[in-house]
Amino acid sequence: MITPRARAQASGNTCGRADRPASWRPIEARHVPELLTDGARALCYGAKADAKKARQAKAVRKAGAPRASGKDRVLMEQADRQPRVAVIGAGMAGLAAARRLRQAGVACTVFEKSRGVSGRMATRRADGSTFDHGAQYFTVRGPRFAALVRELEAAGAVAQWFEGGFVGQPTMSAVGKALAGSTPVVTERRVTGLNRHPSGWSLRFDSGPSQRPGGDSFDAVVLAVPAPQAGDLLQGAGIGVAGLSEVTYAPCWALMLAFDEPPDLGADRLTCDDGPIAWVAREASKPGRRPDAGTCIVHAAPDWSRVHLEWRAEAVAEALHAAFSARFGVSRQPRFIAAHRWRHARVERPFGAPCHWDRAAGIGLCGDWCIGARVEAAFDSGEAVATALIGSMAPG
């Protein structure tokens, strides 16, 4: 397997190095970029466009100042304006990267294909019930993640479910919402391509490119998506990253069940070592949930999920419900049943480096797939790529 050092040398990865593009300079923390809101849902609290610079530029033009043209004008604009970063993906890694960038005063906008933030730390609402059908809990090891968890605990967004195991409250997605804070997040916009031009990067969406003037150019792009999706975007932009294709995942089918009364499973959470089921949890046992909620989450085993990966969700739900009923002796029929496929659920073979940052291209990669299958790994990777990007703008 390619070592992280060799991979970095082969691909130009400068993750953690302080290389600075000449056109970038430190910026003020108050700057927030203009949102791309055409046809998208924008989640941003207190974000405003930086109109002061626009008024100043307009005044200069009215005064008859000479204007450069062509490449010279592009370079002048890059040197004068504040750098902007696009973060693709609003899971833990993307939100951690955006948080670190904004703490350093770097303007960034997060783009997410789904309706909300949190990625695999997801919550689904259906039939009057809520289901944490993605990540079930997370643990804490490192000091920076521990500090974040303490902060979120104090804010009421995180609570301990069992010793060493934490969850978001009142739902798992509360973690991502709290982490996003006032960061501009544009949801329901699937990025399908990256375009490189003299002034930086622009994004292509499944609904076409943004038509908002000045709102679609970025100096750098951070891809906080599963490795295969990052590879597709990079390939379309003519960029290769050594070792990226070696990252592998285990899939997972998740079953959501809602009963009128909580079923007796013998425990609040169970792991299973054989058969199609790997994990079962009663949602009511988690802090901040309704104690009478009769909702359960069932995660299928990796091998079973692989074999049935392309099955219809309805067929998977029927098969997993039958296995659940047989294993736990639950004869009652649920009032709600549904299955969700996580194609990239758990990292099996990681990238082997905290992140990837290509200073020359202005492209960064991050995710739990860089380090390992833990929520904290996603956080660490997001912070790592943000730190590398910030180092690229450091004076000197």
**CATH number of the domain to which 208 belongs:** 3.50.50.60
Are residues 202 and 146 both part of a single domain?
no
CATH number for the domain spanning 128: value is: 3.90.660.10
Mention every residue, 6+ apart, whose C-beta is less than 8 A from residue 97: 87, 108, 222, 224, 364, 366, 382, 383, 385, 386
Domain match, 128 and 108 both:
no
Q: In this structure, are residues 381 and 368 in contact, taking their beta carbons and an 8 Å threshold?
A: yes
Residue 253 lies in a domain: yes
**Shared domain check, 229 and 92:** yes
Which of 348, 363, 381 terminates a domain? The answer is 348
- Tell me, yes or no, whether 168 and 306 share the same domain: yes
Whether residue 100 is found in the same domain as residue 202: yes
Rounded to a whole number, what is the distance in angstroms from the first to the last CA of the chain?
36
Selection from 269, 271, 221, 240 nearest residue 106 by Cα = 221
67 within some domain:
no
- Go through 126-136 and write b for each residue having 16 or more CB atoms within 10 A of its CB, e for each that does not: eeebbbbbbbb
Query: Do residue 101 and residue 136 come from a single domain?
Result: no
Residues 137 and 237 in one domain: no
The whole domain housing 295 covers 124-172+248-348
**Which segments of the chain have a pLDDT < 70?**
1-81, 208-216, 394-396
Asked if the structure places residue 51 within a domain, the reply is no
- Out of 329, 348, 367, a domain closes at 348
In a domain, 62, yes or no: no
- Same structural domain for residues 107 and 18? yes
pTM value is 0.81
Query: Is 194 found in the same domain as 128?
Result: no
In angstroms, the CA 301 to CA 296 distance is 16
Domain count, the chain: 2
Angle (CA) 299-305-309 rounded to 5° is: 130
Query: Are both 231 and 337 inside the same structural domain?
Result: no
CA distance 301 to 318: 16
Contacting residues for 122 by C-beta, under 8 A, at least 6 apart: 132, 133, 134, 135, 172, 173
Other CB atoms within 10 Å distance of the CB of residue 57: 14
User: What does the pLDDT look like over 200-249, one tens digit per residue?
Assistant: 999 999 886 654 434 568 999 999 999 999 999 999 999 999 999 999 99
22 shares its domain with 145: no
Residue 56 lies in a domain: no
Helix-strand-coil percent breakdown of the chain, rounded to 5?
30, 25, 45
Q: How far apart are CA 31 and CA 105, in angstroms?
A: 7
Whether residue 308 sits in one domain with residue 229? no
Q: Supply the pLDDT for residue 71.
A: 41
